[in-house]
Amino acid sequence: MSTAVKMPQLGESTVEGTIARWLKAPGEAIAKYEPLLEISTDKIDTEVPAPADGTLLEIVVPEGKTVAVNTILAYIGQAGEKPTANAQTEPAIAQPSATTRNVPAAQASALPSLKPAGRAFISPVVARIADEHGIDLTGRSGSGLGGRITKKDILAWVDAQALAQPSDQPILSPTETVPPPVTPVPTTPDADETLQPLSAMRRAIAQHMVLSKQTSPHVTTVFEVDMTTVVQHREANKAHFAARGITLTFMPYFVAAVAQALREVPEANSRFTAEGLLVKRRIHIGMAVSLPDGLIVPVLRDADEKNLSGLARAVNEAAARARSGQLTPDALQGGTFTITNHGITGSLMGTPIINQPQTGILGIGAINKRAVVRTSSTSLLPSADDAIVIRPICYLSFSFDHRVLDGAKADLFLSKIRAQLENWQNK
């Protein structure tokens, strides 16, 4: 009897996937657990192995098509056998391997999906975007399976709604004229251009960044931080951590400082809704990790409950899994705040974009030695107590949702982070 290959559920929130590439053609022999196809879901492209030995009899879903979880994608059986309607119906795809195309792999669920499909299902992301932009989904049909409304659909409706609102147009003086509309860039490259197709990850990042700027009024505040005590602590403890198999980087210090600041300024650990702020009780900090095709944000759960050693180990493991393609989709879900270390490439300061639906994101600039003035005088006038000293300095930039935080509260939050770092205590 033939075996049905089904679309796996790659994480709790996944309801559909796109066939990125078939690795076998009909008629080819395949061994159980041998890579059979690649599936794309948002930022993650996953290599899925065959559920059984045999021959690939038929491909039901072609490359590029998006289908719901548990949809039959293909049939595997004996050479010459015809796929039958009564093929094995239990979930047949084994957990995918960790080999991917430049992006993390995920493990498929072994249980059938019980989520509703078609127009009856509205994902939390779609529901949130509709609520924030006042879009009524009643009676609407989307481009997903069975008329399901996808994220792409709701974003298109948001764009259409924005274009239809005259209030979004700039107020012009009597002597000003409305500028002509911007002509879309042609998709056919000129003779001196080369079209580089977007990867699934790059497309997802682009959509998410545009959505964030459309959703939240971004404001960025920047503080200078003296990292002397942190640098001293790290230098004194690197060898001790290494003996336990832990690489002590600066990131765990920042995570610990942010976690404490989120406890003291809980509004920064919330998200905006039309009814009010939803303040998170738990602190799950996302850490941006750079990959060849973009970046991905694994989540360090309950970061405030870990000491420096626990955070260092968690940071190491999350970064290693991200770069080796071993993250699951659920490892990217549920973050309440995000940190991005753009200073690793030498950047001094930046204005990072908020990771929706969070309220803020912290950008960490490069830590460099600088000449700074230290004094015991409270006056800004030159004083005999003034001294020019060399200190390791870093700029922290906090981009925040102005609907949630005003400047004073945002500066208070960032000052809490600075105080933690400048007065580091062994934790």
Interval 400-422: pLDDT, tens? 999 999 999 999 999 999 999 99
Give the DSSP H/E element, type plus range, for residue 228.
Answer: helix 228-243
Lowest-confidence region among 33-47, 258-272, 303-317, 337-351: 33-47
Per the DSSP assignment, residues forming a β-bridge with 363 are 340, 397
pLDDT at 174: 38
Give the DSSP H/E element, type plus range, for residue 72.
Answer: strand 72-77
163 against 253, higher pLDDT? 253
What's the gap between Cα 45 and its chain centre? 14
Token pair listed for 21:
């590439």
Q: Is the pLDDT of residue 179 over 60?
A: no
216 against 68, higher pLDDT? 216
Record the pTM. Answer: 0.66
Rounded CA-CA distance 251/209 in Å is 24
Rounded CA-CA distance 274/129 in Å is 11
CA within 13 Å, CB half, 327: 28
Q: Is the pLDDT of residue 243 over 50?
A: yes
Average pLDDT for residues 197-202, to the nearest whole number?
81
* Average pLDDT of the chain, as a whole number: 83
Q: Is the pLDDT of residue 304 over 70?
A: yes
Average pLDDT for residues 25-53, to the nearest whole number?
84
402 in catalytic set:
yes
Give the DSSP H/E element, type plus range, for residue 321.
Answer: helix 308-324
281 against 164, higher pLDDT? 281
Q: What confidence tier does 148 reach under pLDDT thresholds 50, 70, 90?
A: confident
Q: Which residue segments constitute the domains of the chain, with CATH numbers given?
A: 1-114 (2.40.50.100), 118-166 (4.10.320.10), 217-422 (3.30.559.10)
Q: Is the pLDDT of residue 37 over 70?
A: yes
Give the DSSP H/E element, type plus range, for residue 55.
Answer: strand 54-59
Among 133, 208, 218, 402, the active-site one is 402
Q: Dihedral of CA 100/106/107/109: which sign?
A: negative
406 in catalytic set:
yes
176 against 143, higher pLDDT? 143
Rounded CA-CA distance 80/98 in Å is 32
Lowest-confidence region among 223-237, 270-284, 324-338: 324-338
Q: What confidence tier does 340 reach under pLDDT thresholds 50, 70, 90?
A: very high
Tens digit of each residue's pLDDT (9 = 90 or more) over 182-194: 444 557 888 888 8
Tens digit of each residue's pLDDT (9 = 90 or more) over 76-102: 998 888 887 655 544 433 344 333 433
Among 159, 385, 386, 406, the active-site one is 406
CB 158 within 8 A of CB 133: yes
Q: Is the pLDDT of residue 44 over 80?
A: no
222 against 79, higher pLDDT? 222
> CA triplet 335, 340, 344: central angle to 5 degrees?
150
pLDDT at 246: 95
Per the DSSP assignment, residues forming a β-bridge with 54 are 30
Rounded CA-CA distance 30/22 in Å is 12
Token pair listed for 327:
């993250």
